[in-house]
Structure 1
């Protein structure tokens, strides 16, 4: 067990280092990317479009940009998992065919690297709130709790897409489109109040919606995470992750024949 955990850590570190190998800024790129993303949304939604998320007498400086960036933190995590897990097995056929390797680590590595990037984005968001609004609500201390169901949901998606990517190679091309669809079906770039009543149920059924709202409540609005609500979502995500893992373990014997 200890060796497996250490191998997972090594593979995650290698995954992150290879992503920025050969670049000038190296590991600074995740911070720069998040900062540039926040600057772009500030310009577009606060200065150009002047999107309002609150009544005119309650608008806070750069509120639109911060609201959207807060929604992007959980969404970018899910998008990263969806797009990379579809090829996490097919991309390393030697691991499947020629050596004894705990294949379940491959989807886990995808989730681990996505979690590191999500944590960086969350830190950038908290820093931006403190810089722009000159105060950070104490509820940000509950952010680690929010990453528990988010990681479980990511694991479930990674195991599921890892298997489906072996059986349906087209998934590697479809997964970026699914990630885009997931964003537009969640209130990432628009407030929930803007959703027509006829589509409200669809938006609520998107699992990303709860995470987007929770991130905004904790970091921007200072609203604590309801423990009961958190427990229900954590349990649901954990059950999904365990079911997807069981599906992965049951189908892994056929991977070598398909690669």
Structure 2
């Protein structure tokens, strides 16, 4: 693909993401300020419920960051994945006029939910940095969080291409995917560490790219060493998922216009 075409697609994608984010908050009293207010309110609730009421502690935790902050650092990663995947089935079906234009790069449409999720994730990350600094647990390794997140983004991208294509032909996908995403949250080490899982299930968690990335993100956020070997495996799986997803999408897109 020529360089100028790639750049034009980046600009177009940026405009679609901007439009998607702005439309979500259009008409709201505080407008786009909710991008900042939502995660701030959620973090405050976490701090009050888990820190003051339940006084919860992370399993096997001895000192360190408070439970609510440990939980929040993992949820940021999962929420990016969840938002991108949950909205992917409608990514193409929501733009039938674009699909019917021969020159429009339809393959960028599944990237719009992922881009919007990254915008929200960026504000969550900034609040995490502020909360870590406020509690005295901010370290230089926290800056590695975006790098640790990379395999999850590739996995989300690959799944988004798959789900966007299926969503054109199977409208129920928009109703099927969100409950499975919620189930996946409880099957991944978001609310608990992978070390708390029974030994018989440990292999499943060790080779679950979503789980290993969440663990890596949480570790670097809190200044703990991350398992970069399993992260590397997750990166390879993410690249594979992205490649297969894109190939499947390109193979299916010729039929989109007929269906829509």
TM-score normalised to the size of structure 1? 0.91
Separation in 1, partners of 2:204, 2:225: 25
83, 87, 96: which is aligned to 2:99?
A: 96
| 1:246 CA displacement | 0.6
| 1:226 CA displacement | 5.0
The 8 Å contact of residues 152 and 209 in structure 2, kept in 1 or not, is answered as: no
Question: Aligned pair in 2 of structure 1 residues 232, 203: CA closer, same or farther (>3 Å)?
Answer: closer
Once superposed, what is the RMSD of the aligned Cα atoms?
A: 1.9
Task: Between 243-252 and 93-102, report the one with greater CA deviation.
Answer: 93-102
* Partner in structure 2 of residue 239 of structure 1: 240
The DSSP-based 3-state class of the residue aligned with 1:89 is coil
TM-score normalised to the size of structure 2? 0.90
The 8 Å contact of residues 193 and 215 in structure 2, kept in 1 or not, is answered as: no
Unpaired stretches in structure 2, ≥5 consecutive residues: none
Pairs within 5 Å for 1:53-202: 53=58, 55=60, 58-60=62-64, 63-98=66-101, 100-132=103-135, 134-202=136-204
Separation in 2, partners of 1:109, 1:214: 26
| 1:106 CA displacement | 0.4
* Partner in structure 1 of residue 25 of structure 2: 20
The 8 Å contact of residues 73 and 122 in structure 1, kept in 2 or not, is answered as: yes
Number of aligned positions between the proteins: 255
Unpaired stretches in structure 1, ≥5 consecutive residues: none
Separation in 1, partners of 2:94, 2:60: 50
Matched, 1:206 2:211: no
Pairs within 5 Å for 1:2-13: 2-13=7-18
Residue by residue, what CA displacement relative to the aligned partner does 1:217-250 show, whole Å, maximum 9, x if unpaired?
Answer: 1111x13445544433222211210110010000
